[in-house]
Amino acid sequence: MQHISLIQNNSNRLLLFFAGWGMDDSPFRHIQSDTMDVVICYDYTDLNWDSTLLHAYKEVHLVAWSMGVWVAEQLLHAYPFASTTAINGTPCPIDDAFGIPSAIFAGTLDEFSDKKRMRFNRRMCGSKELHQSFDQTPVQRSTTSLAIELAAIALLVRGREAVSHTGFWNKVIISEQDLIFPTVNLTNYWLTCQGVVIEKLPDTPHYPFYKWTHWEELIKPQHPVNTVSKQLITARFTRAQASYNQAAVAQQQIHERLHAFLNTQPYTTERILEIGCGTGGFTRLLQPHATASEWVLNDLCPQPATLFKQMENERYTYIQGDAETLTFTGVYSLIASASTMQWFNNPKAFIQQMAGLLCESGVFVFNTFGKQNLHEVKSLTQQGLNYPTLQEVEAWASEYFTIEVVEEELITRWFDSPLDVLKHLKNTGVTATQQGSVWTAGRLKTFTEQYHLHYATNGKVKLTYHPLYFVLRKK
């Protein structure tokens, strides 16, 4: 295997790129980086690899394309990358269901020639125009060397286990006009992998690198960012107020567990602030144990009549608005937030804001959601929120709080059909991620078929919730 430095910025951050079969650095020289060093690996005639070059870097990001996806995972599945992005490849590179169909691979390998090389490049580029552009910076390797590499790859793949290491890949990019790794095979494989963010590129061939000018465009953001319209969130949750309490079974389970965690720690309820109180599900659990002189309840939506009745014997203030932009006055002994922070644009900044509102040794109890939350729907629609890991939230919180409880769980709910899943999400307001989305008859049919194919068991289909729980005490 060869590797060379594409870009040297004397940075402590590295992007390590594994190219596909038959490549060198030529087709990637147009992509720049202002913040990282970039190293490219290619020519998989052997898989000899010296990982010591990574030791000089504080942060390493992995990007792999085509056959490089399999090579990178085989060699570096145990390395703690800052992010991992797979493009138009799978860990099963020669596979009729999840990779290049074996007959097509064998046909390419058989008597590989200049003519076959040209035909492959045309299929890889997808159009005459892109093929002509690709040939302006041709790979500087002989056809013989490509044939030797392809034969070596065939032997190496047969001699190694083709099983993905769970959780290794963060992000996957799939071209919807891929004629090398069939798009359907790419999709079928990555839908089996939980916690992977799938990005699809419409009208794009196997070689997609003409789309990017900087390597930074390919790597996972350092922190998840959501830009969902707060107006849309307000509209969807307001519409769901009447159906929420009955439909939100998982949310009620989350409330009960969050309350149980809170009760393992000493805390006072002199003045309480609840962010995202909704219809008052978590508030009801706090009430029997609270002796608050004042409750401050906040939500994006107008106060529902049921909450007004529930709080009629309490001294409380209801503040409608976006908690990320509101100014809350005074100090609080307890701040609570259940199943709300996943909607925030900057949850890290919000955690800091809450620390400033607590009295000495005050408690902040909340849950948000992790990467596997509703992954079934997100994998099929490419719509949904960006979720943090437990470790990311813990790191944000540890700057301002002593962490007394940190835990996560998976809650699986079962429904009779994919349509019932969609109805459930509508009745709980969670469709606020689908701005501008139209459910045509064809799209609904495809969604239903794919949901049954990938997420059905014994006639039922599943939906996963992935709550992250925290009880924090101000330092």
So what's the pLDDT on residue 197? 77
Same domain, 248 and 327: yes
Note the pLDDT of residue 432.
67
54 within some domain: yes
210 lies in the same domain as 236: no
87 and 184 both lie in a single domain: yes
User: Which domain does 48 fall in, by range?
Assistant: 2-218
Residue 223 belongs to a domain: no
Ranges under pLDDT 50 in the chain: none
The candidate with the shortest Cα–Cα distance to 180, out of 21, 379, 18, is 21
Rounded Cα–Cα distance for residues 459 and 438 (Å): 27
* Assigned token pair, 469: 């729980």
The structure tokens 């490849």 sit at 89
Q: Are residues 193 and 307 in the same domain?
A: no
Same structural domain, 156 and 177:
yes
Locate 168 and state its tokens. Answer: 């290794």
Report the pLDDT value the prediction gives residue 467, as an integer from 0 to 100.
Answer: 97
The rounded Cα 231 to chain-centroid distance in angstroms is 24
Counted residue by residue, the chain has a size of: 475
pLDDT in tens, 372-415: 999 999 888 888 898 888 998 998 999 899 999 999 999 999 99
User: For 286-297, what is each residue's pLDDT tens digit?
Assistant: 998 888 889 999
Would you give the distance in Å from CA 421 to the centre of its chain? 20
**What is the per-residue pLDDT for 15?**
97
Q: Exposed, middle or buried: residue 235 (CB in 10 Å: 0-12, 13-18, 19+)? A: middle
Would 150 be classed as within a structural domain?
yes
The answer to whether residues 351 and 411 belong to one domain is yes
Check: CB of residue 344 under 8 Å from CB of residue 226. Answer: yes
Number of structural domains in the chain:
2
Pick the last residue of a domain from 218, 244, 266.
Answer: 218
Query: Is residue 151 classed as helix, strand or coil in its secondary structure?
Result: helix
CATH of the domain at 19: 3.40.50.1820
3-state DSSP percent of the chain in helix, strand and coil, to 5: 40, 25, 40
Across the strands, what pairs with 85? 63, 171
* Region of 399 on the Ramachandran plot (φ > 0 left; ψ -120 to 50 alpha; else beta): alpha
User: Are the beta carbons of 442 and 338 closer than 8 angstroms?
Assistant: no
Whether residues 325 and 450 share a domain: the answer is: yes
Instruction: Report the b/e string of 352-385 with b at 16+ CB within 10 A.
Output: ebbbebbeeebbbbbbbbbbbbbbbbbbbbeebb
Whether 7 and 119 map to the same domain: the answer is yes
Predicted model pTM: 0.65
Query: Which runs of consecutive H residues, i.e. helices, occur in 50-110?
Result: 67-76, 102-109
Domain limit, last residue, from 183, 218, 253: 218
| The pLDDT of residue 164 | 58
Q: Which of 218, 248, 266 is the last residue of a domain?
A: 218
